[in-house]
Amino acid sequence: EVHVVESGGGSVQAGGSLRLSCSASGSTESDIRMGWFREAPGMEREGVAYIYSGGVGTWYADSVKGRFTISQDTAKRSVYLQMNDLTPEDASTYYCAVARETRFVKFPLRSADFGAWGPGTRVAVSS
């Protein structure tokens, strides 16, 4: 069973930055694929960023493109989300998830394509 844990959330002012981290353990697949989602109160879960092909391939939601950057550390089996120029609209609980190894991920990201989820880390942005 894969265990996923996020960290790095917090409270920042608009225009500030945060760096989220995610670590996955217990996976036996050689090429783990991981993504970030976010869910704000009253809103549907939204795919934010995804990394694959050993870190070469990336995908971003239009709402964060140019401001967020996803990266990975293959040795640590971790992924990161650098979030810059944060706005109040970015305030959410952010979740890290591991793609099902038998599934091909589609875009925009779909929750059903991911099988292991972290408990989430909260991001608050003040004006």
High-pLDDT (> 90) share of the chain, %: 86
Q: Determine the Cα–Cα distance for residues 86 and 108; give it in Å rounded to an integer.
A: 21
- The pLDDT score that the predictor gives to residue 76 is 86
Q: Report residue 12 as tokens.
A: 């920042």
What pLDDT, in 10s, does the model give residues 44-92?
999 999 999 888 999 999 999 999 999 999 888 899 999 999 999 999 9
Q: Determine the Cα–Cα distance for residues 18 and 83; give it in Å rounded to an integer.
A: 5
Q: What is the DSSP code (8-state) at residue 99?
A: E
Q: Tell me if 97 sits within 8 A of 37, measured CB to CB.
A: yes
Query: What's the one-letter identity of residue 16?
Result: G
